[in-house]
Amino acid sequence: MPILTRRQTLLTGTAAAGMLSAPWIARAQGADDIVIGASSPVTGVFSFVGVDLNAAKQDYVTWRNEQGGIDGRRLRFVWEDSAYRTNESVAIFRRIMAQEDPPLYYGDSTGWAKAVEAELTRRATTMSSAPSFSSDLADPEGVPYYFMSAPTYEAMIGVLLRHIREQASSGSPRVALVYSDTEFGRDPIAAARVMAEELGIEIVAEVVTRPGGVDVSPEVVTLRRARPEYVIFHGYVLAPIPEFIQQLQEARVDAQFMGTVWTMDKQTINQMGEVGDGFLGVVPYRYSYESDGHPAMEQMWEVARRTRPDADYLSIYYVHMWFTMMIFEEITRRALAAGDTLDGPSLKAALESIEDWDTGGFVGRPVSMASHSIPIGRVYQADAASGFLNPVSDWIDMS
């Protein structure tokens, strides 16, 4: 018996072709629209960030279109779920570029940014960003069409080291670096050594761990012997930081524990429980609960409350994405005002023209782009009793 008759084969093929073409037909809209493409990790291991990133993009586009778009041109957000897999996010990028040729694109990782970097440079049609603050990507010459709406990881560590220097009254503060054996984890380490030396800070231990590893006993022994006054964690979101802190506290290591931005969401810190009390970290933006008196942040809340009427907190990821959308809008406005077509070079020129820009409260001082990044951060400290993080430094500019 044949497995399919000819008629069945034809019908199946036609149905499949119809299904595959339907999304493309649906997207063929508004030639004057300004398209923002995205590979969004709304599922997979990074979904705890990706869902909020995507929600912020959608909310921003909806709100901006209600206000008449940008110079009368509607924004259109085209995205697909990448599941935080580089191959998939690159495939999505290629598909959206082929179908929409968007002037703005938001990826999902450092891997994505590096994989599409050559294609973006060749096309010169699109300015991109992603939730990656890898120092390699802050390179206007080598990676001309990528920017980050935050400091690089190197600059974040720099903010922490400066804070340590200011806090230490005299002598050489003793710092340990604990980082994951990933590109993310290792990114700022070489620069951290140099900055520490310049600031008169002694790096007394460097501990490399497997990402997400939970058995940290051997590393704790190393740290206990080194007796650091400060321990900086980088390259993690949560695990194994609480385990480290707990075991070090049990070993009576009296150190100040610190982290970088991806650890610093309020909900992540709260998950640490009691061991998270007093945890310090660098954050590029104000927290959403600090919005009072800051018009752009109040605007963000007003829009966000439409879909989250009961929310009393917007994650740092949501804030990051909303702020990145503000930069997308700003550079689009500047490029259009200059009479340019929206493409890579005009958007790059617009980005590099940002100087002393008022962010409406997201960043506590006027922002100027430096190497396609914003080298400003502030140190916050967790208070387990209230569940909030409070600023303990001024805004530190690393440019």
Partner 1 sequence: MRLGDFVTDYRAGEAVLRTPVQRVWFAAFLAFLVALPFVGGQYITFLGCLVGIHIIATAGLNITTGFTGLISIGHAVLLGVGAYTVAWMANNGVPFWLAIPSGALLAGAVGIVIGIPSLRIKGLYLAVATLAAQFVLSYIFREWESVTGGVRGLSVPPAQIGGFAFDSDFRVYFLIMPIAVVAVWASRNLFRTRVGRAFVAIRDRDLSAEVIGIDIVRYKLMSFALGALYAGLAGGLWAYFFRSITPESFPLQLGIFYLAAIIVGGLGSTLGSILGAIFMTLVPEVLRAMVNLAAIVSPAAVVYVSPLREIVFGALIVGFLIFEPHGLAEIWRRIRRFFALWPFRS
CB of 190 to partner 1, least distance (A): 10
Tell me the window of 19-27, 241-249, 282-290, 325-333 that interacts with partner 1 (CB under 8 A).
Answer: 19-27
Q: Fill in the per-residue mask, 185 to 224: x = in contact with partner 1 (CB under 8 A), - = not in contact.
A: xxx-------------------------------------
Number of residues that bind partner 1 (CB under 8 A): 44
Q: Fill in the per-residue mask, 118 to 157: x = in contact with partner 1 (CB under 8 A), - = not in contact.
A: xx--x-------------x-----x---------------
- The Cα 350–Cα 336 span in angstroms is 9
Residue showing tokens 């994989």: 115
Tell me the window of 87-95, 166-174, 253-261, 360-368 that interacts with partner 1 (CB under 8 A).
Answer: 87-95
Q: Give the list of residues 6+ apart from residue 326 with CB closer than 8 angstroms, or none.
A: 60, 296, 359, 360, 362
Q: Using H for helix, E for strand and C for coil, what is the string for 70-125?
A: ECCECEEEEEEECCCCHHHHHHHHHHHHHHHCCCEEECCCHHHHHHHHHHHHHHCC
Q: Give the list of residues 6+ apart from residue 16 with CB closer than 8 angstroms, or none.
A: none
Q: Using H for helix, E for strand and C for coil, what is the string for 187-212?
A: CCHHHHHHHHHHHCCEEEEEEEECCC
| Under 8 Å between Cβ of 11 and 19 | no
- The Cα 250–Cα 220 span in angstroms is 10
Contact call for residue 53 and partner 1 (CB under 8 A): no
- The Cα 302–Cα 397 span in angstroms is 30
Nearest CA to 232 out of 319, 172, 154 is that of 154
Shorter beta-carbon distance to partner 1: residue 10 or 16? 16
- The Cα 30–Cα 16 span in angstroms is 27
CB of 368 to partner 1, least distance (A): 27
Q: What are phi and psi of 40, to 5 degrees?
A: -110, 125
Shorter beta-carbon distance to partner 1: residue 82 or 324? 82
Tell me the window of 97-105, 237-245, 248-256, 297-305 that interacts with partner 1 (CB under 8 A).
Answer: 97-105
Contact call for residue 225 and partner 1 (CB under 8 A): no
Nearest CA to 23 out of 89, 92, 86, 82 is that of 92
Contact call for residue 1 and partner 1 (CB under 8 A): yes
Among 33, 48, 51, 343, binds partner 1 (CB under 8 A): 51
Tell me the window of 85-93, 338-346, 350-358, 375-383 that interacts with partner 1 (CB under 8 A).
Answer: 85-93
Contact call for residue 7 and partner 1 (CB under 8 A): no
Contact call for residue 22 and partner 1 (CB under 8 A): yes
Which residues contact partner 1 (rule: CB under 8 A)?
A: 1-4, 6, 16, 19-20, 22-23, 26, 42-43, 51, 58, 80-81, 83, 86-88, 90-92, 94-95, 97-99, 111, 114-115, 117-119, 122, 136, 142, 181-183, 185-187
